[in-house]
Amino acid sequence: MSIPSDKEYQTNELIRFLNSKSSFFDNLADFEEWIKNTNVLEQIEWIENGSYGCGACLALQNAYNHLSKHTNNNARIGNVVLQAFYGMQFTKWNKLSKDVQSILNNAIEQWFKQDKDFVIKSIL
């Protein structure tokens, strides 16, 4: 078995993240409670610095570097953030309380206001 190249490693990690199927939470109420008691901006920064794993970091970098004025950028970043937080693809945005939606949107907007120097340098 050979050591994977950087591109192979990054691709495998991104695929593993995007295909994750196990939630970190037993139910939506537990997830909402966690969001309400968490510094969401700090958690997004943890995704950015790789604390949630290479796949989550690469997904965030990829989403960030493909933003455009023609898409809902909060939603694009939010999808990656919610997947990293929840542990699998999150499809229940409309079921979240307005308070939690606001917490998430505010944190993402604050994150956008920070200087970003992580234009993707990966080879994906």
Instruction: Quote the pLDDT of residue 124.
Output: 52
Instruction: Quote the pLDDT of residue 65.
Output: 85
**14 inside domain:** no
**7 inside domain:** no
Q: Which amino acid is at 40?
A: V
**12 inside domain:** no
**18 inside domain:** no
Q: How many domains does the chain have?
A: 1
No. of helices (H) and no. of strands (E), the chain: 6, 0
Return the CA Rg of the chain: 15
State which residues of the chain have pLDDT below 50. Answer: none
**119 inside domain:** no
**76 inside domain:** yes
**3 inside domain:** no
Instruction: Quote the pLDDT of residue 121.
Output: 53
Instruction: Quote the pLDDT of residue 120.
Output: 52
Instruction: Quote the pLDDT of residue 114.
Output: 87
State the residue range of the domain holding 39. Answer: 23-113
**118 inside domain:** no
Q: Report whether 112 contacts 75 (CB < 8 A).
A: no
Q: Which amino acid is at 94?
A: N
Instruction: Quote the pLDDT of residue 115.
Output: 72
